A = this chain, B = another copy of it.
Amino acid sequence: MAQPSFDPGLTQQYTGNLRRAINKDGSFNVERRGASWRQFHPYLHLINASWPAFFGYVLAGYLVVNAVFALIYFALPAGEIQGARQAPYWQAFLDDFFFSAHTLTTVGYGNLAPVSNTANFIAACEAIVGLMGFALATGLLFGRVSKPSARIGFSQNALIAPYQDKTSLQFRIVNLRSNVLIELQASAMLMTVEGPAHARAYTPLALERERIYFFPLTWTVVHPIDESSPFYGKSAADLERVQAEVLILIKGFDDTFSQTVNARYSYRYDEMIWGARFKPAFRVDGDGRMILDVNRVGDFQPVPFQARQA
């Protein structure tokens, strides 16, 4: 096997049994500890939260701020909020709460209104708190919806099959969305567990083509298995023994978001099919129009194949 000299930013030092390095959703199989609260970045958290969680935070914030101001109004002498009932106590608090909501959202019907100077001053503060709070929510909402997110579909399996006059490892990708991606780049490396010390080793995999200009259809990324390949002369059993995992990084430029997007993926030894090739994922209709079926990105068919021996 070629010299495993390349460190992709993962580790060479660990020697035990490890889960896969890159999960199917592109995240890394790493748990972080010891980061202090000072490193906590609320924006990152709120941008990456699920939609229910995000709206939950907004609603909770709205209720808490509302209730805090309601308590302040409630603490004022009776009559400072015009139209608020004074009894029973819970009704008085509810009216203060509703006045607070009228103010925080700047809806201000006026059936409840501040008459004393104190109430007016507090209401003026609450209105600006509301405006700044909803400004923040506006920014976060925009950040969430405008976050570029390529949805690259990967074939479920990597195939090892004849390619022109040699063997190759292949996988296929497709753009799951209809936005235009251009100038895609792929890089791949093989992670293995080597030698008696079970140390992790990383070997970059040469690709037949590392970059394409356009990506309207599928792209079959090909690693030729020649003498310089770490797959050369290996069998499926060999790959299982070294717990082979192919790590993949795809980068491209999203023409709608005008930003660089990327996708990460990996294939483990048990996701590689020996002796198969991809079937076309598109056809042409009678009008000469190409019809692409994104669900067929992983479709393959067996081919006669005899792995070369080293």
Contacts and interface: CB of A to CB of B under 8 A. Distances in A.
Interface of A: 7-11, 13-14, 16-19, 27-36, 39, 41-44, 47-48, 55, 58-59, 62, 66, 82, 91, 94, 98, 101-103, 105-115, 117, 120-121, 123-124, 127-128, 130-132, 134-143, 145-149, 151, 176-180, 182-184, 187, 189, 209, 212-219, 247, 249, 251, 253, 255-262, 264, 280, 282, 284, 287-296
Contacts of A180: 27-28
A133 to B, nearest CB: 9
A252 to B, nearest CB: 10
13 contacts: A9-B219, A18-B290, A28-B214, A33-B294, A35-B176, A48-B256, A58-B128, A98-B117, A105-B130, A106-B108, A107-B107, A111-B115, A182-B264
**Copies of this chain present:** 4
B145 A142 contact: no
Nearest to A42: B145
Per DSSP, chain A at the interface is: mixed
Given A9-B219, A128-B59, A214 B142 contact: no
Given A18-B290, A105-B124, A134 B136 contact: no
Given A108-B108, A127-B107, A139-B142, A29 B290 contact: yes
A219 B63 CA distance: 44
A13 B107 CA distance: 62
Contact of A82 (B111, B141, B143, B258): B111
A127 B28 CA distance: 41
A35 B177 CA distance: 7
A42 B96 CA distance: 39
B109 A131 contact: no
Contact of A108 (B82, B110, B121, B214): B110
Given A103-B107, A108-B108, A257-B258, A284 B18 contact: yes
Contact of A140 (B59, B145, B151, B189): B145
A132 B127 contact: no
Contacts of A213: 8-9, 187, 189, 247, 249
Given A31-B292, A114-B109, A149 B214 contact: no
Given A113-B110, A260-B258, A10 B216 contact: yes
A136 B55 CA distance: 13
Given A132-B58, A142-B139, A292-B32, A262 B9 contact: no
Contact of A7 (B131, B140, B212): B212
Contact of A142 (B7, B117, B143, B282): B143
Q: Which of A179, A213, A253 has the most CB of B within 10 A?
A: A213
